[in-house]
Chain A
Amino acid sequence: MELQRRIRDGDNTAFATLYTRYKQDVYMYCTRFLGRSGDADDIFQDVFIGFLERVRKGMEIESIPHYLMRSARNRCLNAIRNRKHHRSLDEYHCHPCHRQDEANEIQEIVQNALQRLSDNIRETFVLREYAGYSYEEIASLTDVSIGTVSKRMYSARKQLRAILLNQ
């Protein structure tokens, strides 16, 4: 609340502090959920800029990390929906370019493996492994039960084990 008040009062360093605090979690979520595409970077930007505009307009946000992650999630889900409808050749053409730029081979392998999971399972896995969310937090964010989260985590690990360790 204090940071939000300072942002409203025009203290830009307060936004920088907040951004530094949460950017890594949001970025990891966007990039690992959507994969290394331009969508993730755009959504990442939109999340923080949207947050800044809302706070400056006087909106009180109860839980900043929850708001940021939910905002990122909604935008990512929209992007996935749009992607399925408008999957273009560019995406496939760009992918090898990213691959060439990728310095870390493990990152490349992990990225590809994640993209082979279904959206729900991948999202749950990313929230748990990359953003450090607990089962309860994931359940609250994705509007499912804790049992479902547990099932999805198991399913994700089983598939990833098959993809990454048996390939």
Chain B
Amino acid sequence: MNFEEQISSFIDGALSTEAESELLHILSVSPEKIALLHDHLRLRTMFASDSRASAVPSQLDAAILGSAGLTIAGASAAAQTAVGAAASGFSWTLGRLLSVGVIGLSLFGAGFYFATILPSDEVSNKASEIVEHSASTDQHVDESTIVFEGIESSESDAHHSDQQRLAEASTSGGTSAGHMAHRSDPPGTHGTSASRIVYRNVYITQTDTLFVPSSFAFFDNEHDSQIPIPAAVQYIPSAERSITIIQAPGTVMKTTRPGRFDIEIQRDHIDTWPYIDYSRFGVERARRHVSLFASYAFDSRHAIGAMLGEQSFAMEYYRLENDSLYIYQQQPTLLYGGAFYRLSIPIARGMVPEFMLQAGGTDVGPMLGTRLALRLTPIDRISVILGANGTMLAYRYKDKLFTSHSLGFSYGIRYQF
């Protein structure tokens, strides 16, 4: 076997390991031999380019498929199925996982958003916890829950309060009145406390009657004065006793406008990239599709939602097998689903520019898209959307990643609930 024959076998991968090592050694020390190898590699490049440039003419496709009772469009659909199946390993795993991830992140973002814009709800919940606790239990109130800061009301106020409570109790009757009467006649002296419970930024003020037994060490009968009672005083609250919750001054109750749901049906007119041999497939490069969008608007600017529709992509990909290059082309229509974020910028009544960022998945891989649109609202709740769309699809074939793009304009109609 002469050296050129060895090169030929080497190029075809038909050389043994030992022979290959020997060949490489010769190449490393002989510029002439390297030039010979380069000649053969140049030849391969020429044949590869010849192979790439030669496709089956469309008239032959039509003749053969016609004999089977098919049109080229039908054949193209079948080819789509075949290639789709080839790439399905990518579709059912990564593509859908990405979609689920995007939707999950969107929901997490929504939750975080709610958590930050609704402090008043949080406060109300905390306050109601205290109310519930105080009103429902007949046990001693835990020191750590309610803190008396001091007794501030006068004797007369206390007496008046006591009388008022007795009057209220007697008019309401029942066990409450009996209970109050029993408690209003202790052996000792009674006083009134205005206690204030501080819980974060909410002030719960309650007026309560505090009965101090005569044996209470800190009460001074001679001077008839009010003595601050330490915080650890225990008392038995009545289950029927009302508690007044007053919002502290300066704390703004933040209310938010409830979000609005909307649905949109959109018609796309798109062109696809890369260019493929459309005449061979008998299909048009320009495609028209319909998509559905459903979203929730947090306010006048931000909205998230889900989308479902069809999208066309031109696919051109290749594989290397046995040192030959195979090119495949197709333009399938893919079903896609995903999530989107929409930013609206109100600039005038009835006219709002919008920017939409889309992320989703198709049968063959994940896709990302954007839309710049103008929303016109001639009638309340009903809007017309005019936009420009751009979408990119990533798909994998034989462990190689390819991308395809579509660009076009769209129009749709949206209804806000």
Contacts and interface: CB of A to CB of B under 8 A. Distances in A.
A71 interface: no
Interface string B23-51: 00000000000000001101110110111
A150 B9 contact: yes
A49 B53 contact: no
12 contacts: A12-B74, A15-B65, A16-B78, A17-B78, A45-B60, A104-B53, A109-B46, A132-B321, A132-B326, A150-B9, A151-B5, A153-B9
Given A13-B77, A132-B322, A150-B8, 20 more contacts: A13-B74, A15-B70, A16-B68, A16-B74, A16-B75, A16-B78, A17-B82, A19-B65, A19-B68, A28-B54, A44-B56, A104-B50, A109-B46, A128-B322, A129-B51, A130-B47, A153-B8, A158-B4, A161-B39, A161-B40
A52 B9 contact: no
A16 B70 contact: yes
Contacts of A134: 322
A128 B12 contact: yes
Question: How would you classify the secondary structure of chain A's contact residues: helix, strand, loop or mixed?
Answer: helix
A151 B4 CA distance: 11
Contacts of B40: 157, 161
Interface string A129-162: 1111111000000000010001101100110110
Contact of B50 (A27, A44, A45, A110): A110
A139 B77 CA distance: 36
Interface residues of A, number: 45
A44 B12 contact: no
B67 interface: yes
A157 B36 CA distance: 11
B246 interface: no
A106 B50 contact: yes
Interface of A: 12-17, 19-21, 23-24, 27-28, 31, 41, 44-45, 48-49, 52, 104, 106-107, 109-111, 128-135, 146, 150-151, 153-154, 157-158, 160-161, 164-165
B55 interface: yes
A135 B46 contact: no
Contacts of B22: none
A53 to B, nearest CB: 9
Contact of B324 (A13, A129, A160): A129
B14 interface: yes
Closest 3 CB pairs of A and B: A132-B324, A16-B78, A16-B75
B47 A110 contact: yes
Residue of A17, A28, A45, A109 ringed by the most chain B CB atoms within 10 A? A17
Contact of A52 (B44, B67, B322): B67
Given A12-B68, A110-B46, A110-B47, A31 B324 contact: no
B153 interface: no
A45 B64 contact: yes
Nearest to A41: B60
Contacts of B53: 104, 106-107
B70 A20 contact: no
Contacts of A154: 4-5, 8-9
A114 B43 CA distance: 12
B5 A150 contact: yes
A158 B61 CA distance: 36
A86 B42 CA distance: 37
B69 interface: yes
B128 interface: no
A161 B77 CA distance: 42
A38 to B, nearest CB: 11
Interface string B100-113: 00000000000000
